[in-house]
């Protein structure tokens, strides 16, 4: 599969997450305060809730339900109750277009 256009860069507000679904894969897309675009799995690994309804703080996205903060870089939760990471997707910026391939995740150590 190739990367698909999911949003325009100009559609994103800083420090706000937007949910997109590509081929049935829910992804939270975030423009952080430093202007970097991140894409992580949108389903919290603690409960079946949408992370994009949570809160962006720095390079983390906090689950609104119980407060686990997921790193936008590694996908790892930085605090309980979640302990399993969410996937991190490769983001390509082409002009104003944000492209994501839901089958390509970043290898994060």
The nearer residue to ligand FES, 9 or 49, going by C-beta atoms, is 49
Closest CA to 86 of 1, 19, 16, 3: 19
* Given 26, 81, 85, 87, the residue binding ligand FES (CB under 6 A): 81
Q: Is 85 an interacting residue with respect to ligand FES (CB under 6 A)?
A: no
Closest CA to 44 of 74, 16, 6, 83: 83
Between CA 27 and CA 18 the distance in angstroms is 8
Least Å from the CB of residue 2 to ligand FES: 31
Closest CA to 65 of 77, 37, 18, 108: 77
Q: Is 66 an interacting residue with respect to ligand FES (CB under 6 A)?
A: yes
To which residue do tokens 């939760």 refer? 77
Q: Binding marks (x or -) toward ligand FES, 4..43, rule CB under 6 A?
A: ----------------------------------------
Q: Which residues bind ligand FES (CB under 6 A)?
A: 44, 46-47, 49, 63, 65-66, 68, 81-82
């Amino acid at each position: 599969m190739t990367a698909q256009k999911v949003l325009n860069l100009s559609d994103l507000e800083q420090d706000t997450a937007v949910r997109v679904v590509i081929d049935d894969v829910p992804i939270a897309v975030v423009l952080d305060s430093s202007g970097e675009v991140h894409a992580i799995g949108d389903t919290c690994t603690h409960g079946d809730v949408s992370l994009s309804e949570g809160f962006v703080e720095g390079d983390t996205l906090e689950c609104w339900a119980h407060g686990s903060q997921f790193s936008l870089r590694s996908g790892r939760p930085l605090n309980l109750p979640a302990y399993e990471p969410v996937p991190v997707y490769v983001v390509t910026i082409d002009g104003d277009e944000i492209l994501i391939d839901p089958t390509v995740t970043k290898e994060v150590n």
